Chains A and B, each alone.
Chain A
Amino acid sequence: MRLLEYQAKQLFSEFGIKVPDGLTSKDIEQGRKDAEKLGFPFVIKSQVPVGGRGKAGAIQKCQNLDEFELKYPQILERVVKGEKARAILLEKIMDYRKELYLSLFLNRGKRCYTLISSSQGGVEIESVKNQVIREIGMGDVEREVCEEVAKEIGLGGNSITEFVDLVQKLSKLTIEKEAELVEINPVAVLDDGSLLALDGKMIIDDNSMFRHDELKKFLEISELEQKAEKSGFSLVELDGNIAVVGNGAGLVMSTLDMLSDNGGKPACFLDVGGGATTESVYEALTLISKMKKVKGILVNLYGGIVKTTTVASAFLQAYENKLIDLPVFARMLGSESEKSKEMLKGSKTKLFDSVEEAINAAVIGVSKHG
């Protein structure tokens, strides 16, 4: 789960990390009240789960009420990399003398957390040359390491103590909330040498959510994705018109690739999951039936933990209840696939021996009914 800036900053505050004064609203009525409370000038910041807000004009300074009335609705409506604003953060403008970069992230290859810091903040870290990098085990950073890093990025005076304090609070936050990434970009060095988080990004391990009830209030997934999660399958909505259904994330991704290579446009990625039942697959078909853009369904199954007959039964039920009336192109292999073929004989599901054939038929079939 990726937290929005204001959500990350809320957690920063709870852990004693300083952030600028700010208020979050979802509509202009609340925004006006926030503006009055905060006082001009301030920054209007769109809350979207992607980077690149500055360039997209989704962060703007605001000097007075006239500007506010003009800019607030604009920023609320602005789409950044396909994402609409979830909320608007109004935040006090800070005076500072320098911007730094700081993050802790899960290094998958090394199986440990890694601290990255730089004296150049406020730009994308990929483009920063002088990064200071330290591997830090399970996420707990020792005082000595923090001091070393502080000096390497050119801090002096009381900023060193401030930096040690900031990193230790950040590592405590990372460990307690089971984050895969916590990033502050930029960290502002104020005139008095103290440090403050001007931005915040956090990615929480979804699989740890069962022991983090306190974070559930931040959970924001589409209704479709929510239903999918409840039924134990994973769904990613895409822009095309052919729904791709299968068992196992790898197999479904592979099917998506091949469909795209052959000129097809996937409407969604749907992995029925290892615990699929006829009911849950039926639920998946219900979701697909509600996606207006879908003109055909491509099914690729390799039965293992999930039997192909489980899926075949769900399709038969869906036809019987007139839930779906779309052409279905399927390939089924693995456990009980012969029986599945028998079951689906004479139904609207066209079965193919190879994935390639099923994909070609789906691309041609769907473009015909366009």
Chain B
Amino acid sequence: MVNLFDILRGKEGDNDYGKKPVIVQGITGKFGSDHTRQMISYGTNIAAGVTPGKGGQKFDGVPIYNTVEEAVKATGSNISILFVPAKFFLGAAKEALNAGVKLLVAIPEHVPIRDVMTLLELAKKNDAVIIGPNTPGIIIPGIIKVGIMPASAFKAGSIAVISKSGTLMYEVSHNVSSASFGENITLGIGGDPINGTSLVEAFDMIKQDPNLQGIVVVGEIGGDAEELFAQHVIDTKFSKPIVAYIAGRAAPKEKRMGHAGAIVYGNYGSAESKVAMFTKANIPVAKRPVEIPMLLAGKLETKV
């Protein structure tokens, strides 16, 4: 099973432990360049950028290549973060996987569902992990940031935060950080109907970390990812504390609430259905983000 910590942080004893090289696809674009600078200032080892036609140039000292294949060859990196418009997403993502990228963090919003499904078939064949699309990325606080999240919300600690939404992930992590828990990893799975990595898969990729003390799941209306997650927790008898939050209780039905995936049809995707399943799995659901640290504290106490 894939362990995200092994890919992002490495194993102790690795030459590049904590400094895994990362490629930025679309490094010279508006968002790509802005966030490359922020990732570098966080300490992420941005080893190469890719922009077709700009190969041979440099961006803030980072060498640019025309293709992902060249970037992978030159740096040995197997992690890429992708900043391209949705229309060009599938082509760029396929290029990355075919060049040997094993972890692709897909930032763009508005990617068609069919393109994600097509890409997932290739990812399965290549044994690669797609985070996103429509994700803010992943951060292991103090070690590596592959994403667009504001660093100030995160603090090294022992709670994992997995979220569908980007800004809610910042909000919740900010609360977890302020309450002096801190996070050992925080990742966004994205707000689209089909996620490259589902809630269940994200959980499986981080749950074996020995430093992990608890998990916060930040869900929202739409689909059945939260229900499947709750069932998975029941089935695997996972024993560490989990706290959940669901956004969209007050949203009208059959209206898309900003995220392509945030839409309720009948009971499918409703907040009530998700809360019911979490309750069944003995996972308390916070009514407001600010309650999350209290619920966590309560859960951790009963554990001790």
Contacts and interface: CB of A to CB of B under 8 A. Distances in A.
Interface residues of B, number: 64
B223 A253 contact: no
A205 interface: yes
Contact of B171 (A138, A254, A260, A335): A254
B288 A256 contact: no
A250 B149 contact: no
B167 A251 contact: yes
Given A208-B114, A304-B170, A305-B148, A236 B120 contact: no
B255 interface: yes
A207 B149 contact: no
A108 B250 CA distance: 22
Contacts of B256: 206, 234, 236
B214 interface: no
Residue among B118, B245, B257, B287 having the largest count of chain A Cβ atoms under 10 Å: B257
Interface in A300-333: 302-305, 333
A62 B161 CA distance: 59
Contact of A334 (B86, B153, B224, B289): B153
Interface size class of A (residues with CB under 8 A): 35 or more
B132 to A, nearest CB: 12
Interface string A70-85: 0000000000000000
Interface stretch (A140-148, A165-173, A241-249): A241-249
B225 to A, nearest CB: 7
Residues of B contacting A: mostly: loop
B151 to A, nearest CB: 9
A82 B277 CA distance: 31
Contacts, number: 173
Nearest to A236: B255
A250 B245 CA distance: 11
Contact of B194 (A50, A106, A333): A106
A269 B170 contact: no
A354 interface: yes
A14 B106 CA distance: 36
Contact of B290 (A238, A259, A356): A356
Given A108-B261, A250-B164, A254-B168, A238 B113 contact: no
Contacts of B260: 205-207
Given A205-B113, A250-B168, A304-B150, A333 B262 contact: no
Interface of A: 2, 50, 106, 108-109, 111-112, 126, 138, 175, 178, 180, 205-208, 210-211, 234, 236, 238, 246-254, 256-261, 266, 269, 271, 273-274, 302-305, 333-335, 354-356
